[in-house]
Amino acid sequence: MRKNIVITGASSGLGEGMARLYAAQGRNLALCARRTDRLDALAGELKPATVVTRGLDVNDHDDVFAAFKEFRERLGGLDRVIVNAGIGKGQPVGTGRFDANKQTLETNFVSALAQCEAALEIFREQNHGHLVVVSSFAKLRGMAGNTTAYAASKAGLSSLADGIRLDLAKTPIKVTALMPGFIESGMNVRDGKNPLVAKAETGAKALVKAIETEKAKAYVPTFPWAPLSVVFRVLPDAVMRKLV
């Protein structure tokens, strides 16, 4: 069993949900996010589980490496790192919001790379570990409108995970890429009108279940997103333009 688990972006949404489930299983948790007040409140609710928290902006790449090393020291080693921190900002390209699109790509891809690098430096030294990256169903196709940069960032992250997995194929280190569909979270608030949006608790349980299999890839929840992944790849562009 992977005992010591790092979760980034753990102050809300899917990160918080996974933390609650793993704490209930008796795992040791290292939780980080920008909002330390929410992290500390969450840690108080997870007692008597062993939980350490630390403020972290994943766009401060030097601090990502420092944080993971600190977590390793405080927990006595790391067994799993869940790269979960991300944002859903974005605007149509060429509409004057390069700042938002750049921030999305930097946070979801470049900063995810920093987290992967920091985790794998530790895993390679230990010769064991499980890297989990939270990508998105949106990685399957280029998306229009406000989701163009987001989908591109998640496509890059999924490709990164694939490459890391190939590189580590002959080692004890495992790599899993998760592709969640619509799950209630800070980026995707359930409005009650979309039947495809899973409740936060359901989504978190599906994520943890998929992580524990340590498979290379998983659509989450499996139904309807695994079957839909086949359909999504062949949708005509005219239909894709409406999925904004």
* Structural domains for the chain: 4-240 (3.40.50.720)
Q: What pLDDT does 67 receive?
A: 98
What span, in angstroms and rounded, lies between the C-alpha atoms of 200 and 87? 17
Q: Which positions of the chain have pLDDT values less than 70?
A: 186-194, 244
Q: What pLDDT does 232 receive?
A: 87
Q: Label the pairing between strands 173-180 and 217-220.
A: parallel
Global confidence as pTM: 0.94
Overall residue count recorded for the chain in this entry: 244
Instruction: Judge whether 90 and 150 are in contact, CB under 8 Å.
Output: yes
Q: How many Å is the Cα radius of gyration of the chain?
A: 17
Instruction: Judge whether 141 and 233 are in contact, CB under 8 Å.
Output: yes
Distances (CA, A) of 133 to 8, 9, 75: 10, 12, 21
Q: What pLDDT does 190 receive?
A: 45
Q: What pLDDT does 191 receive?
A: 47
Closest Cα partner for 207 from 216, 219, 194, 197? 219
22 catalytic, yes or no? no
> Of these residues, 109, 150, 219, 225, which one is catalytic?
150
Cis bond upstream, residue 195 (ω within 30): no
* Residue that the structure tokens 């039947």 belong to: 195
> How would you label 157-170 residue by residue, b for 16+ Cβ within 10 Å and e otherwise?
bbebbeebbeebee
Q: Rounded to the nearest 5°, which phi and psi values hold at 66?
A: -65, -40
User: Chain-centre distance of CA 145, in angstroms?
Assistant: 23
Tens-place pLDDT, residues 143-167: 999 999 999 999 999 999 999 999 9
